[in-house]
């Protein structure tokens, strides 16, 4: 039976109840008003139910027609304006949605969802302060809904109020002890506060609660790397890679870094070589491979990486520095000095090329110029122990005879 037919039946039924009244007495008028109100509410509720069903199925135009019918028949229900606002939010009518949510709260200020969805509007407008206020109101009205708590905490994070976000969440952790998203948000806060070890622990707890969430595993991997947990990080990378249909270069890159940090340089070099084929235009890959090759004494690859770096990123210093390292290894010290000067001109605030320049200048018998290079290294990085030691030794009249490989 159509909605209008149902409403007509209800109206006829109510009217029949009033037949037999001899006249419009005061009691009869009141009864008629109440009956009409009940009829309107029942009819409005039918339209509201239809609106909910069509909204859930994504039929937003039909849902809007039904909810407008409901509001027209009974405009006092806050829930109707709440649903209208949600339809408007889904169809990107943000101002209209906010107006509907505010009207819903005027009708019923206990509607936690109206505060929550109004918070979403303000969040989309990048008004994180007001978004937090709305989410916080929703959480106060319904403290059992973890989504409201998470939204309020995320708004505080967006405002840079990490400690406030942490303090908001911590008292509720025991209540929501089986909620992985809450632990995940705590871990993100720990990262923002510069505590990757705590973050890794919290991510691990979240993983126990939600072991099938690969995005959560990926966040754990990055936290473990930041915390220097290279072995665990590497194991989790291999586990995640085993679940993927094909290798992801970003995970391979992190795997190579973990292997290098674990002193597994040969394995790391193999992964880097695969990466150069997958991402041949990425200068970072060539820099890291070149530096690793230098550490391994693989000067053929040092030379190869330096050529690629200069071609890909001539404005960066690393290509010239690596090429200088290779020239110095071949005994071509004058060429090495020229290349190290090129590197220092591109990175005056990085100590390493100044140090290499100073060492090579010492080798060719130019201690005064070497002294200046070491001073520049200290100016670039005042706390560099290598630069301070080289400067002290040269100042004491000691000269380098063998240049370290790094």
Looking at the fold, whether 320 and 388 belong to one and the same domain comes out as: no
Q: Tell me the pLDDT tens digit for each residue of 357-400.
A: 999 999 999 999 999 999 999 999 887 788 777 777 776 655 55
Residue 335 and residue 400 in one domain = no
Q: What pLDDT was estimated at residue 262? A: 97
70 within domain boundaries: yes
Are 333 and 353 found together in one domain? no
Q: Where does the pLDDT of residue 5 fall: very low under 50, low under 70, confident under 90, or very high at 90 and above?
A: low
CA distance 298 to 252: 21
Same domain? 333 vs 358: no
CATH code assigned at 313: 1.25.40.10
Asked if residue 170 belongs to a domain, the reply is no
Of 35-49, 188-202, 296-310, 363-377, the range with the lowest mean pLDDT is 35-49
Do 324 and 359 lie in one domain? The reply is no
End position of a domain, from candidates 91, 109, 127: 109
171 in a structural domain: no
Q: Quickly state the pLDDT bin for 272 (edges 50, 70, 90).
A: very high
Q: What is the pTM of this model?
A: 0.80
Q: Are 347 and 324 in contact (CB under 8 A)?
A: no
Within a domain: 198: no
Is residue 219's pLDDT more than 90?
yes
Q: Are residues 335 and 353 in the same domain?
A: no
| Residue 150 domain flag | no
**In the listed set 53, 86, 109, which residue is the last one of a domain according to the structure?**
109
Nearest C-alpha neighbor of 68 from the set 91, 86, 44: 44
Same domain, 329 and 397: no
Rg (CA), the chain: 35
For 13, the enclosing helix (H) or strand (E) is helix 3-18
Domain final position from 94, 109, 124:
109
Residue 76, helix vs strand vs coil: coil
Residues 359, 329 share a domain: no
Q: Note whether residue 227 is domain-resident.
A: no
Q: Does 175 reside within a domain?
A: no
Do residues 276 and 326 both lie within one domain?
A: yes
Contact between 16 and 28 under an 8 Å Cβ cutoff? The reply is: no
The mean pLDDT value for 201-219 works out to 96
In Å, what is the CA distance from 26 to each residue of 22, 33, 261?
12, 11, 89
Average pLDDT of 194-215?
A: 96
Contacts of 172 (CB under 8 A, 6+ apart): 143, 146, 149, 182
Sign of CA dihedral 386, 388, 394, 396: negative
Q: State the average pLDDT over residues 98-105.
A: 97
Look at residue 352 and give its three-state secondary structure. helix
pLDDT tens figures, 309-356: 999 999 999 999 999 999 999 999 999 999 999 999 999 999 999 999
Residue 207 domain-assigned (yes or no): no
Per-residue pLDDT, 12: 46
If one counts the domains in the chain, the total is 3
Note whether 276 and 323 are same-domain residues: yes
């Amino acid at each position: 039976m159509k909605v209008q037919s149902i409403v007509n039946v209800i109206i006829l039924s109510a009217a029949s109840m009033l037949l037999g009244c001899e006249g419009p007495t005061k009691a009869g008028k009141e009864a008629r008003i109440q009956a009409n109100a009940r009829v309107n509410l029942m009819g409005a509720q039918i339209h509201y139910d239809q609106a909910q069903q069509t909204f859930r199925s994504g039929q937003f135009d039909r849902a809007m027609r039904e909810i407008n019918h409901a509001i027209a028949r009974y405009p006092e229900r806050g829930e109707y304006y709440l649903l209208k606002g949600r339809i408007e939010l889904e169809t990107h009518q943000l101002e209209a949605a906010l107006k509907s949510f505010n009207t819903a709260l005027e009708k019923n200020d206990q509607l936690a969802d109206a505060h929550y969805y109004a918070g979403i509007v303000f969040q989309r407008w990048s008004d994180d302060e007001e978004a937090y206020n709305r989410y916080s109101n929703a959480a106060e009205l319904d403290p059992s809904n973890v989504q409201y708590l998470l939204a309020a905490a995320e708004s505080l994070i967006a405002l840079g109020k990490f400690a406030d976000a942490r303090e908001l969440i911590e008292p509720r952790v025991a209540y929501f002890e089986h909620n992985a998203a809450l632990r995940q948000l705590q871990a993100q806060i720990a990262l923002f506060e510069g505590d990757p070890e705590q973050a890794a622990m919290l991510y691990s707890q979240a993983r126990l609660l939600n072991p099938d969430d690969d995005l959560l595993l990926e966040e754990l991997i990055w936290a473990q790397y930041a915390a220097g947990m290279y072995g665990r990080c590497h194991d989790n990378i291999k586990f995640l890679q085993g679940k993927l249909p094909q290798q992801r270069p970003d995970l391979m890159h992190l795997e190579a870094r973990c292997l290098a940090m674990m002193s597994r340089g040969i394995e790391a070099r193999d992964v880097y070589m695969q990466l150069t084929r997958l991402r041949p235009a990425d200068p970072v890959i060539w820099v890291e491979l070149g530096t690793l090759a230098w550490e391994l004494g693989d000067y053929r690859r040092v030379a190869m990486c330096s050529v690629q770096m200069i071609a890909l990123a001539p404005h960066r210093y690393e290509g010239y520095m690596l090429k200088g390292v290779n020239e110095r290894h071949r005994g071509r010290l004058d060429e090495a000095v020229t290349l190290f000067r090129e590197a220092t001109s591109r990175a005056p605030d990085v100590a390493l090329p100044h140090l290499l320049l100073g060492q090579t200048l010492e080798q060719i018998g130019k201690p005064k110029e070497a002294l200046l290079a070491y001073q520049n290294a200290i100016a670039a990085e005042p706390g560099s122990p290598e630069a301070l030691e080289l400067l002290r030794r040269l100042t004491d009249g000691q000269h380098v005879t063998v240049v370290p490989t790094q």
